[in-house]
Amino acid sequence: MTDAAALRSRTRALLAAHPPATTEPLDFLKARFDAGLAWVHYPTGLGGLDAPRSLQTVVDAELAAAGAPDNDPRRIGIGLGMAAPTVLTYGTEEQKRRFLRPLWVGEEVWCQLFSEPGAGSDLAALGTRAVRDGDDWVVDGQKVWTSSAHLARWAILIARTDPGLPKHRGISYFICDMTDPGVEVRPLRQITGEAEFNEVFLSGVRIPDAHRLGEVGEGWKVAQTTLMNERVSIGGMRIPREGGMIGPVARAWRERPELRTHDLHQRLLTLWVEAEVARLTGERLRQQLVAGQPGPEGSGMKLAFARLNQEISGLEVELLGQDGLLYSDWTMRRPELVDFTGRDAGYRYLRSKGNSIEGGTSEVLLNIVAERVLGLPAEPRNDKDVAWKDLAR
């Protein structure tokens, strides 16, 4: 059993063999992965040591103190938070060894091809088709709201493989090479002026059956692992006190007393407390993850994240008055990262509108919390046992 002392010793040995000051960052990250110090709770040989997840903080503290490079987790967040746990759970040994190392070190960026123009909130209604042709699947369809598609090498993809089955049962899950012929990525310009999202067109894209995750027709089951991890990664990010959206508002309140009013003060206090409750709840959720897979609690965290961001950014605009309307950088860009705190208040206000859509709409997440957390009766679903091809669209 690996304990904290053994991990400290192993980490210091890594640092001695590969000094961060003189080692190329990518080389250091590869050595860290091979030493089992990437994510210690993963299996030995796949970046981990089969150690308790809680011991990752021991490794991270040693590396941070030594000034070691990280893998830029925000840039590869979809790979780390969504693709990796799905590959680990459903992938073959060959798939795990092919994809996890370049994913973790940041050599290969991932995106998520799930939502479609006619299947966003009702994801299981998706219409992208995958037809078997020998050892390949030929995929045709359109995906939308795809973050990082313009940067990605790989995508996690769900497609309909049997339209004669009910919508949840005729789906399969694939790994798609974004550089293949037939994959076209187009920018979607947002209210912020940027295009961090994309629409993706798939025309006769050939995916080898060796890049299928899970059994044929069980894609919805596999996708649930992805979605639950996605909501935890969005709503349960580790942040310090007054991190995130509440930080700029609290600083403005302290530094500009001329902006203060009694009404705004009461609203700021309420939102500050709610932000702190959400932060501490996120910490507890991460501790629960040590014992197993993420559950529906992540949906509740993501709900709180979206609502708080929108209310806090609205308060900031009101607090700053005319200055709150400024947005000095409204330009068409294809950003690699979304930076909420390093921009104008106007940007934060506009960008936060997407928080209740991305990673599962708030309406869908309310249903998940109601049914799976509170145990309330499920909404009637008349299409549950109807073949997808017979559904009205």
Tell me the per-residue pLDDT of 68-119, one tens digit each, with 9 for 90 and over: 999 999 899 899 989 999 999 999 999 999 999 999 999 999 999 999 998 8
Residue pair 173/114 in contact by the 8 Å Cβ criterion: no
| Distance separating alpha carbons of residues 228 and 225, to the nearest angstrom | 5
Q: Among candidates 179, 47, 19, 169, which has minimal Cα distance to 104?
A: 47
Amino acid at residue number 318:
E
CA 361 from chain centre, in angstroms, equals: 14
Task: Return the percentage of the chain with pLDDT > 90, whole number.
Answer: 61
pLDDT of res. 59 = 96
**Bridge partners for 119 per DSSP:** 116
Pick the CATH number of 223-373 from 3.90.1150.10, 1.10.510.10, 1.20.140.10, 1.20.1250.20: 1.20.140.10
Q: Which of 194, 230, 297, 316 is flagged as catalytic?
A: 230
Q: Domain ranges for the chain, please list them.
A: 4-65, 79-217, 223-373
| Distance separating alpha carbons of residues 377 and 10, to the nearest angstrom | 51
pTM for the model: 0.87
pLDDT of res. 231 = 59
**230 among known catalytic residues:** yes
Amino acid at residue number 267:
R
With a CB cutoff of 8 Å and minimum separation 6, the contacts of 284 are none
- Average of pLDDT values for 10-25? 97
CA 316 from chain centre, in angstroms, equals: 26
CATH 2.40.110.10: does it fit domain 79-217? yes
